[in-house]
Amino acid sequence: MQWNNRQPFVPPSLLDRLDRLRLRRTALRYAEHGWSVTPGAWLSGHHFDCGRPGCRITGCHPALDTWTESATTDPARITAWWRRRPYAVLLTTGTTFDVLEVPAAMGRFAPAAGPVAVTATGRWMFFVAPGRPLRSELEHRLDVVRHGTGSWIPAPPSRMIEGPVRWVNPPGRTGWRLPDAGEVQQSLAAVFGSARGPGPLVVPRQLSTSRRSA
């Protein structure tokens, strides 16, 4: 008997449908826990496509001009958004939670008291209770970003050019509870001041977008 170890052919249309179903299911789960979502441009080859004619934004970005107003937890609207497009799942910040985005050299040493996600480029995202500004040690670092009102982050399992966003500490593991922002900032600042703290400063690509709330 001869074994055929070739991978079976899966039509691109089926892969697209499975991708949409997975993203929609995840978006609905976030919404179920009160996390507002909005569709983001999907990865098409080596660039992002939002479906809007003439859009020249090449990186990850909201697919809707009115994303701040249209972000929702409504299952019917979310289902409609992901019916035809494999949109990235974007979470809006500043209401239910803020997100502290830091470099890997800082994030990997800080304790994960709440949900933590990481991008393939090594940007760590700590979900915290909203409203608290950055403390001075972090405010002066351009590679530390507070996502609050008027900002968003790509959520797992959205795909970026370098790879998918993934959970380091998924929200289900913490019961979807959010830690106090001051405590998380204190932990990050302690890492920053330690001997094993961050090395060369690396500014995130989406600084112009994500610093709106800083």
Q: What is the pLDDT along the chain (214 residues), one digit of tens a residue?
A: 455 556 554 445 556 777 889 999 999 999 999 999 999 999 988 889 999 998 989 899 999 999 999 999 999 999 999 998 999 999 999 999 999 999 999 999 999 999 999 999 999 999 999 999 999 999 989 999 999 999 999 999 999 999 999 999 999 999 999 999 999 999 999 998 764 444 555 555 454 343 334 3
pLDDT for the residue numbered 211? 38
pLDDT for the residue numbered 81? 96
pLDDT for the residue numbered 4? 55
Token readout for 55 is 């859009």
Instruction: Give CA–CA dist 211/214, Å, rounded.
Output: 5
Considering just the CA atoms, what is the radius of gyration of the chain in Å? 18
Look at strands 123-128 and 116-118 and give their pairing.
antiparallel
Whole-model pTM over 0.75: yes
**Residues 94, 68 contacting (CB under 8 angstroms):** no
Q: How far is CA 23 from the centre of its chain?
A: 13
Residue 45 burial by CB count (10 A; 0-12/13-18/19+): exposed, middle or buried? Answer: exposed
Instruction: Give CA–CA dist 212/90, Å, rounded.
Output: 16
3 state SS of 209: helix
The residue length of the chain stands at: 214
Token readout for 41 is 């441009």
